[in-house]
Structure 1
Amino acid sequence: MKEIKIESTLYLFESLEVLPEDVISLMRRAIVARGQAYAPYSNFNVGAAILLDNGKVITGNNQENASYPSGLCAERTAIYYAGSQFPNAKIIRIAISAGSKRNQTTKPIPPCGACRQSIAEYEIKQETPIEIYFMGEIGEVAKVSSLADLLPLGFDKSVL
């Protein structure tokens, strides 16, 4: 038997205000998108903002329907739109903000597994890492320098 140790690096910032101004601006776009989410079933709103290498910012939010859970997460809404409208652009950074209508979220909330897999696909496609910042409604903000820090044993085309 061989043991393999897997490590991830996560950076934690005490609040949004201590981040670089360009990251604050992107996160504010994610917060606005979160406020426009349609989540009447989960009561959990998520907003995402994506910075592309062409300078465009794409936002998305979770969208639910009565055939719950067949809706779509904020991250995938934004990333698929970016891929559709700007197929040759690279994703530089993603900012994500999540909040519950039931209680205030104060800890960083990372992307779900399905969103991690979708982000991984774009990171592999573009052959450059994607910075991901994520937070709740208030409080600490987490950052990873690559999706590989959130999904170290990713499933990709090399296994197909």
Structure 2
Amino acid sequence: MLMYALHMVFEAPFDFTASDFPLIRKWWCLILMENFAIERKHAAVDVQEPKAQEDSEIGDKEPQMVKDLRTAVGWLRNNCHSFRGFVQEPSYLDLEKEDQEEALLELDRAEGKDALELAKEPFMFRFQFQQDMEVFLLKCHDERHLRINSKSMEVQFMLFIFLLRVIVFKFVPV
């Protein structure tokens, strides 16, 4: 239920499955620890390494933007200890091959600001805190010249936490 609320606040598609629940539970625990000031080493979730290209021929045809995305994800995973809050990696890397191709086509076809913003969503890094996003952009965009997209969700996240507390306290019997 919490993931549905989160996706509704972020206006994101419901792209999680039952197999994602262990990682989701771990993420929620980290969020709760952070918001209730429980001691911890860092708020990053241990995630799997990016999927290796099965065919080197496919890797050669991969657009530069996707190569940059994979490089940025690698940097993010190696430096997750540097971030204060949660960072959501782009959903593009978890999509099936056909869906990845469709996402790239939508990005190429996008006309207008709103359509372009919507088409960038699968390629977007989402940061809980603005400071974390600034560090990431400095290291990946400014220093490594990677073409990446990012968004700070600090305001929306705080609104989400507020709504979550309202929902929990409303439905929990006293």
Q: Is the structural similarity TM-score above 0.5?
A: no
More helix by share: 2
TM-score normalised according to structure 2 size: 0.25
TM-score normalised according to structure 1 size: 0.26
More strand by share: 1
